[in-house]
A and B are shown apart, each in its own frame.
Chain A
Amino acid sequence: MSLLEIEDVDKSYGDEEVLHDVSLAMDQRDVDVIVGPSGSGKSTLLRCVNRLTEVDDGAIYLDGEEIHGMDENDLRRRVGMVFQDFNLFAHRSALGNVTLGLTEVLELSETEAKSRAEEFLGRVGLADQADSYPSQLSGGQKQRVGIARALAMDPDLLLFDEPTSALDPELIGEVLAVMEDLAEGGMTMLCVTHEMGFARSAASTITFLDGGRIVERGPPEQLFETPEKERTRTFLGQLTDLNR
C-alpha cells in the first residue's frame, strides 16, 4: 500500500480551476519532486495534503486512511511542512520554534522537548544557534530551523513548498544539503522546487504539473532525457538552463 495516495483531486478558487483530476501515489522513502510554472497548482496540491486547503473533489489517503475523515491536527502532526517564507515563530528562539509542537502537540515535558529539539537542530547543523531568534538568523539558517521544526515531530511525510525560493543564491546550498541528507536517510518527501540539481540527484519521481493537470510523471532520467511530451522538454530545459 502506498504511503500517500492522491486520487482525482479537483480544486477551484471561484471560477479558476487550480487542480484538475490530479492523481499520484508515493511509497515510503520516496522523494517526489513537483515542478511546473508559477500558478500551475503545485503549492495548492501540497496544501491539500495537510489540509491547509480542502479539496473540492477527489480523495487523499495517508497510509490507506482517507485524510478528510481524520482529525486535522493529528494529520498535520504526521505530515510536516516546510514553507517558502520559513514562517518561523518570530517570538521564539530557534529552539523554541522546535519545542512548541513537542510540548503542545506531543505533550512532551519541557526537558524532553528541549533535548529532542537540540538533537534535531544538531542534525541540520544549527546546534550552536539554538538560542538565536529568527531575526538573528540568515535565510538559510531560518529554513534549516524550519526543517528541524517539522522533522522533530517525527512525521511520516514531509512537504516542502519551494524551500529555497526566498533564499539568496549563496544560501541555497546549505538547505539542499540538508534535504539531500534527509532523502538518503529514507525520509518520504514531497517537494515543490525548481532546484533541478536536487531533483536529478535525490528524486525518485518527478511530476510536471501545468495548468492544474499532471502533464508527465516519471523517474528523473525519463523526464530529463526522454520526456514523452514536448512541453516537458521545453520547461525542464529552461529550468536546467536557469540553474546553471
Chain B
Amino acid sequence: MAVAAPADLAAVLQTGDWAFVLGNWRVLLLGAVVTVVLMATSLTLGFLAGFPAGAVEAYGSGWTKELVSTAGVVLRGTPIVVLIVLFFFGIPVPKLGSVPVVDVRLSAFLAATLALGLRSGAYQSQVFRGAIQSIDEGQLEAARSVGLTHRQAVRHVIFPQAVRRSVPGFQNEFTIVLKDTSVAFAIGLAELLTRAENLYLQPGRDTAIMEVIIVISAVYFVLTFATNRTLDYLGDAFSIPEGSE
C-alpha cells in the first residue's frame, strides 16, 4: 500500500519514530474511519437481526423459536475471528472490487460486517429478550384491560419499555463491536489495526512498533470513550422522567 509519497518518506526518515507516526496521520485517520463505518454497519445489522430475534425468543414458539435460539447459541459460542474467516472464505461473495480512497476490499468488508453484525445480533437478541421478560406482567394485563389486542399491547406498552431497558446492554454492544473490529485484521481489512501493522512493516520501520500501537490504542480508547459518553447522553435524553417521590 502506498503510504506516503517518496518525498514525504525521505523527510520522515530523518526524524524520530513519533514523527513517523504523526507524519502518517492520514493513513491512521482513514483506518479509524473504516473502523467506525464497520462498527456502524455491524451494529445496524445486529439491531435489524437482533431485535426480531429477541422478540421471537420472548414470544415465539415451535421451530422458529428453536431455530433462532440455536443460531444464537452458535453465534455466541464461536470466536469472532472464526466467524470472520468463515464468512470471508465460506460465503461465495462475488468479486466486488474495492473502494478507491480508503482502499477497502468490499468482500472483506462484507464478511466482517456479516460476522460482527450477526454475532452482535445474537447478543442484542439476548438483551432485548431479557428486557421484554423483565417487564411486569401487570403492564400487559392493564393494556389488555382497556381493550388493546395482544399485538397492540406488545407494540404500544411492552416494546417501548423494553427498548429503553435495553439501552445499557446495547451500549455494551457498541464498545464490544468497536473493539472487535480490530479482529478484521485476520482477513486483511484495512481498518485501524491493519493499517498500523502496514506502517511498521515498512522496511526500517520496526523501531516504530511501540509508537504506532500506542497511538492507535489511544484512538480506540478515545472512540470508546466518545461512544460511551454519547450514548450516556442519549440514554438520559430519552429516559422516562423519574421523580423524587
Contacts and interface: CB of A to CB of B under 8 A. Distances in A.
A104 interface: yes
A149 B143 CA distance: 10
A90 B147 CA distance: 18
A136 interface: yes
A90 B138 contact: no
B229 to A, nearest CB: 24
Given A90-B139, A104-B152, A137 B243 contact: yes
Contacts of A104: 148, 152, 156
Contact of B146 (A101, A132, A135, A136): A101
Contacts of A137: 243, 245
B62 interface: no
B145 interface: yes
A89 B149 contact: no
Given A52-B145, A80-B145, A100 B138 contact: no
Interface residues of A, number: 30
B242 A135 contact: yes
B145 A81 contact: yes
A76 B147 contact: yes
Interface string B115-143: 00000000000000000000010110111
Contacts of B242: 133, 135-136
Nearest to A131: B241
A224 interface: no
Interface stretch (B2-10, B87-95, B157-165): B157-165
A76 B241 contact: no
Interface string A67-101: 00000111011001101010111110000000011
Contacts of A80: 145-146
Nearest to B243: A136
> Which of B141, B147, B161, B241 has the most chain A CB within a 10 Å cutoff?
B147
Given A76-B145, A89-B142, A138-B245, A100 B156 contact: yes
Interface in A189-236: none
B241 A136 contact: yes
Contacts of A105: 146-148, 152
B237 interface: no
Contact of A91 (B142, B144, B145, B164): B164
A50 interface: yes
B143 A135 contact: no
B1 interface: no
Contact of A76 (B136, B144, B157): B144
B146 A133 contact: no
B99 interface: no
Given A85-B138, A87-B139, A135-B240, A101 B245 contact: no
B147 A133 contact: no
**Max chain A Cβ within 10 angstroms of own Cβ: one of B142, B146, B242:** B146
A100 B111 CA distance: 44
B157 to A, nearest CB: 5
A52 B242 CA distance: 30
A26 interface: no
| Interface-central residue, B145, B147, B156, B164, by most chain A CB under 10 Å | B145
15 contacts: A50-B145, A76-B145, A87-B139, A90-B139, A90-B240, A91-B161, A101-B146, A101-B148, A104-B148, A105-B148, A133-B241, A136-B243, A137-B245, A150-B146, A153-B146
